[in-house]
Structure 1
């Protein structure tokens, strides 16, 4: 999704901050009217909404980013969760007020920008991962 496309947080979404003032949510993703597989039988599909739908979108993005990372750096381990979190936060499309906020977090997850960042910064990511071990 481009940064200039419309994206509204659903009316049923929760906002931050946490009790201790931390920014939440960390990231946002589409979670309303998501057409996906359902549990009733193998070929069943339905439309869902809510955090469980948005979480599935972000989980899919993370899985694809990890696979892409391994394809461009096959000798390296998968990215650490801290690296993935930073990658998603810093490549998100900022929404709401400038910078992280209590409604959109760091913004709308953007798989294309994140994969471009991996491609453009592969040496820096590898060196960072080595320093964290």
Structure 2
């Protein structure tokens, strides 16, 4: 009886914690800036994946001409529901997708609460990781 009471109390405590609430997809903006590293021809998002995200309710921003090196035009992204924007609008998104790690100089332009999805290589980019964690 005492054990059951303790278990019930533990479960009650667990469920009464304050968890962060989920954010509906339609309240989130995904930004895809142009890759700036030399010889980088990839883009973090294709038009077909942009279409899937838009269908789920995300708003997708693609920096103007970000897909050209990967052979995707601005029009292809727009046709799939993405918005073409400038770099600063892209960096103010809630989620920022990049193939390569951002430059340290770009970090100051990011939305303060943004989530960055990218290959960061933390062991090789300690200065960047420190800048992102401030």
Is the shorter-chain TM-score for this pair beyond 0.5, marking a shared fold? no
Q: Give the TM-score normalised by the residue count of structure 1.
A: 0.24
**Larger relative contact order (C-alpha < 8 A, sep ≥ 6)?**
1
Between Structure 1 and Structure 2, which shows a larger proportion of strand residues? 2
Which protein has the larger Cα radius of gyration, Structure 1 or Structure 2?
Answer: 2
**TM-score, with structure 2 as normaliser:** 0.24
